[in-house]
Amino acid sequence: MKILPEVSRTLSEYLLLPNLTTEDCTPANVDLTTPVVRHRVGEPSPIRIATPLVSAIMEAVSSPRLAVALARTGGMAFIHQNQDIASQAADVAAVKGHKAGFRRAELHVAPTATLGDITALTRGCAQDFVAVTDDGTAEGRFLGLITVDDFHPDRHAPTDPVTTRMRAVEDLVTAPAAVSLSDANETIWHHRLDVLPVLTPHARLASVVLRADYESHTRFRHESVDADKRFRVGAGINTRDHTDRVPALVDAGADVLCIDSSDGYSVYQAKTLEFVRDKYGADVHVGAGNVVDARAFRYLADAGAAWVKVGIGGGSICTTRETKGIGRGQASALIDVARARDAYAQETGVYVPLCCDGGLLTDYHMAIALALGADFIMLGRYFARFDESPNRRVRIGGRLLKEYWGEGSARARNIARYEQGGDDIAFEEGVDGYVPYAGSLQQTVPITVAKLKATLISCGSTSLPAFRDSAILVPVSEQSHRQTGAEVMVRDHSQDAGE
């Protein structure tokens, strides 16, 4: 038995001291670009993201829709593995089917469909247009488009066929499949279009270009894309069926993979990494974890992990600490593992990025985690709140909420992630609940990014490596932490008649 001479500390127990802010420290000059996978010291990482945020490998969080939205803002999503292999591969392929500026049509109907069918299809869907094809599938011959603005339920009967209100292909401005994004946008603005269909030589709908996406691209200039301009996406794997799951995900186009486990200090993770390395060499990047100390980091780094996830039991819906007594305060874990990461880089010449997973309750916790050594941050609750997450939005007690459940909960029953020695989970390591609804990801992530940039500016830095090198942190006493709370009654604008 050994007891470490330390107090296990959380991210809430530290604050940053400001450094000198120079004239170069402006939001426009701050670069949050960060490596995702291992690389030689002094050389760029093969995969980097401009926004150091990735979504958790969770059923309640990471859907293809969220993956596309997050890639647009410069981050990356991880499609969860608590589903059959074919379904997960299809989710990955759906994301990779989106090129920056080019979208796949999500909805297709045959000419026999009715206007009522269109209303039902578009209700709650991110796309407000439907492609009409001869057989009602994405592979069918393109006949035309119909949007929710092409008919009105008070003027047009829901039983009317879609052909009575659709815009036929011969009346549409279209573009060939080889069109560049700049030429497509030029066509959109010249012809005052909202939607530009892009057709294959066989008259099939390859993709669409939207005016709204042009405006989004001007706002988010650092999308996460591969060499073919397709959005990047990651996928979770496990140590049980990896010999079948990994090839399917690689074939589907996953940019990175990550072993999804609550405890990564395991020979099974090393064997999984060995399998991928033997089959694919260095072409497939696999992250591993989770860990909370230097020993576990070194074990996974030596095994070839592309990056290592840090954190056990700190997630808002995780109960591993309560049920198993295993874990470590997230700040203490990051400090220890970051030292090991830096020592490993100095010894081997290879830099293995760290992902902070869990223990992040506020935006400022992200800044503390990055200062303590994290290269990027994995978030579950944060992303579960948004429109783009796959969970249901509900109203309870007058409040809009989104469902949110842990992978160790009875609802998820993620046996592969929480290895308990059987074909089912014997006890829960997560809860099932709700989080406050927060609207669109594309509205909130830019605010979080602005906060991170403001923190770097106050600390006299314009990049994450410089921020880590120069950051000065101070532990916060319980009394000091208590004083940070507001001592005024915050105004409720909805009840203030004077506003």
Catalytic residue ranges: 318, 417
Residues whose CB is less than 8 angstroms from the CB of residue 159 and which lie 6 or more positions away in sequence, other chains included: 114, 115, 116
Using alpha carbons only, give the angle 51, 69, 466 rounded to the nearest 5 degrees.
0
Residues whose CB is less than 8 angstroms from the CB of residue 357 and which lie 6 or more positions away in sequence, other chains included: 56, 289, 290, 309, 310, 311, 314, 315, 377, 378
For residue 78, which of 270, 86, 91, 90 has the smallest C-alpha distance?
Answer: 91
Question: Is 315 a known ligand-binding residue?
Answer: yes
Question: Is 261 a known ligand-binding residue?
Answer: yes
* Residue 69, burial from CB neighbour count under 10 angstroms (0-12, 13-18, 19+): buried
Q: How are beta strands 129-133 and 142-147 bridged, if at all?
A: antiparallel
Question: Is 312 a known ligand-binding residue?
Answer: yes
d(CA 408, CA 264): 15
Instruction: Extract the runs of DSSP E, i.e. beta strands, from 239-298.
Output: 256-259, 286-291
Question: Is 281 a known ligand-binding residue?
Answer: no
d(CA 268, CA 111): 53
d(CA 178, CA 428): 51
**What size, in residues, is the chain?**
499
d(CA 164, CA 278): 58
Question: Is 459 a known ligand-binding residue?
Answer: no
224-235 as b/e: b if 16+ CB within 10 A: bbeeeebbbbbb
For residue 32, which of 470, 467, 471 has the smallest C-alpha distance?
Answer: 467
Question: Is 262 a known ligand-binding residue?
Answer: yes
Question: Is 439 a known ligand-binding residue?
Answer: no
Question: Is 327 a known ligand-binding residue?
Answer: no
How far is the first Cα of the chain from the last one, in angstroms, to the nearest whole number? 62
For residue 66, which of 382, 383, 376 has the smallest C-alpha distance?
Answer: 383
Binding-site residue positions for NAD(+):
260-262, 311-313
Binding-site residue positions for K(+):
313, 315, 318
Binding-site residue positions:
260-262, 311-313, 315, 318
